[in-house]
């Protein structure tokens, strides 16, 4: 599934072409993606100028001239691609939504949404602060609001495993499985560690929790710089793959040696809440009395 870096990469690739472009026509090749398109979906968008394109968590937000916002989630396999010469475009399977655009500089452009698995979706909102998908999201991990003090406040007294807590979108918006595994490895925290054990009785954070915050920020920024990670389906607005997957230290490296200096550990894989967790069996110590 595209995570925060992949969505941010998509935003940055689309922005030069979409900002101040006018939506001339919207063609829906099917009635639904994950959910049905709302009634008059195409008509609500046609004639609107795209004022800005931004990101909230894993959602793409297209701000329109009528003050509505087109919200899009890429799901497991969704992607947007800009086509400059649609007349010569060879249609491909799973191209579900086609936006015909006019841009003052680039003239006629086409934006195509492709989604083989159809877990993505689109929604039009007149009030994003109360939108059902956005209203309960937590802080952005690349914002100034994300820090160790925030995690202490969110974690104290709770017995959730750290991996589960970091993937909770109401706590931190946008983190996904890949980058959480990588950050926990950097901070030497086992993915099943109870979050309350990372805070002492005086609400002071464990040293590992202090390391975790900059580790998350650093990994996300590195991944964005690398264009995200392409494991199966992800491509950017130019149809190109990201390459951060070549920098993984734990994700997908089961039974390979740990990359930490002087560590003799081996990367192991367990399942948590239906997701794979990867960790080093030496430097990410298992919490006391915890069954794997």
Question: DSSP string of 47-61?
Answer: T-BEEEEEEETTEEE
Domain-ending residue, one of 130, 162, 182: 130
Domain-ending residue, one of 130, 164, 194: 130
What's phi and psi for 256, nearest 5 deg? -95, 160
* pLDDT in the model for residue 238: 55
Query: In the annotation, is 2 catalytic?
Result: yes
* pLDDT in the model for residue 247: 75
Query: Can you tell me the distance from the alpha carbon of 35 to that of 196, in angstroms, rounded to the nearest whole number?
Result: 37
* pLDDT in the model for residue 149: 97
Domain that holds residue 12: 4-130
* pLDDT in the model for residue 286: 73
> Residue 136: inside a domain, yes or no?
no
Handedness of CA 32, 35, 39, 42 (dihedral sign): negative
Domain-ending residue, one of 98, 130, 162: 130
> pTM for this structure?
0.89
pLDDT (tens, 9 = 90+) of the chain, 292 residues, equals 688 998 999 999 999 999 999 999 999 999 999 999 999 999 999 999 999 999 999 999 999 999 999 999 999 899 999 999 998 898 989 999 999 999 999 999 999 999 999 999 999 999 999 999 999 999 999 999 999 999 999 999 899 999 999 999 999 999 999 999 999 999 999 999 999 999 999 999 999 999 999 999 999 999 898 876 644 454 545 555 444 566 789 999 999 999 999 999 999 999 998 899 999 999 998 765 555 4
Q: Left if phi > 0, otherwise alpha if psi is -120 to 50, otherwise beta: which for 150? A: alpha
Please tell me the total count of domains within the chain.
2
CATH number of the domain bearing residue 206 = 1.10.8.50
Encoding tokens for residue 287? 């919490």
Catalytic residue among 58, 188, 208, 253: 58
Predicted confidence (pLDDT) per residue in 172-223, tens digit: 999 999 999 999 999 999 999 999 999 999 999 999 999 999 999 999 999 8
> Residue 46: inside a domain, yes or no?
yes
| Shared-domain flag, residues 169 and 247 | yes
Query: Can you tell me the distance from the alpha carbon of 144 to that of 201, in angstroms, rounded to the nearest whole number?
Result: 26
Q: How many Cβ atoms are within 10 Å of 107's Cβ, its own excluded?
A: 10
> Residue 29: inside a domain, yes or no?
yes
| Shared-domain flag, residues 118 and 205 | no
> Residue 50: CB partners within 8 Å, gap ≥ 6?
18, 19, 20, 21, 22, 23, 62, 63, 64, 65, 101
* pLDDT in the model for residue 114: 95
| Shared-domain flag, residues 92 and 158 | no
Catalytic residue among 24, 34, 118, 275: 275
* pLDDT in the model for residue 237: 52
> Residue 188: inside a domain, yes or no?
yes
| Shared-domain flag, residues 86 and 175 | no
Query: In the annotation, is 117 catalytic?
Result: no
* pLDDT in the model for residue 225: 85
Predicted confidence (pLDDT) per residue in 55-86, tens digit: 999 999 999 999 999 999 999 899 999 999 99
Going by C-alpha positions, the residue among 61, 79, 290, 78 that lies closest to residue 189 is: 290
Query: In the annotation, is 208 catalytic?
Result: no
């Amino acid at each position: 599934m595209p995570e925060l870096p992949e969505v941010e990469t998509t935003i940055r690739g689309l922005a030069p072409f979409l900002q101040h472009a006018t939506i001339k026509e919207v063609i829906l090749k099917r009635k639904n993606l994950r959910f049905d398109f709302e009634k008059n979906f195409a008509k609500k968008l046609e004639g609107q100028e795209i004022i800005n394109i931004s990101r909230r968590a894993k959602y793409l937000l297209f701000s329109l001239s009528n003050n509505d916002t087109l919200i899009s989630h890429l799901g497991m396999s969704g992607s947007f691609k800009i086509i400059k010469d649609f007349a010569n475009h060879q249609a491909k399977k799973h191209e579900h939504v086609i936006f015909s655009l006019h841009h003052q500089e680039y003239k006629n452009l086409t934006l195509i949404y492709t989604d083989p698995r159809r877990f993505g979706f689109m929604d039009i909102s007149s009030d994003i602060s109360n939108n059902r998908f956005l209203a309960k999201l937590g802080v952005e991990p690349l914002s100034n609001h994300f820090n160790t003090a925030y995690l202490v406040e969110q974690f104290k007294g709770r017995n959730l495993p750290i991996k589960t807590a970091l993937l909770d979108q109401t706590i931190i918006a946008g983190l996904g499985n890949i980058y959480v595994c990588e950050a926990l490895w950097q901070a030497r925290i086992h993915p099943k560690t109870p979050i309350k054990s990372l805070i002492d009785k005086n609400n002071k954070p464990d040293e590992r929790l202090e390391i975790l915050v900059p580790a998350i920020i650093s990994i996300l920024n590195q991944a964005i710089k690398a264009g995200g990670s392409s494991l199966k389906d992800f491509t950017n607005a130019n149809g190109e793959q990201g390459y951060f997957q070549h920098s993984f230290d734990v994700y997908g490296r089961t039974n390979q040696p740990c990359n930490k200096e002087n560590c003799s550990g081996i990367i192991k894989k367990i399942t948590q809440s239906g997701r794979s967790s990867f960790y080093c069996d030496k430097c990410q110590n298992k919490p006391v009395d915890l069954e794997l």
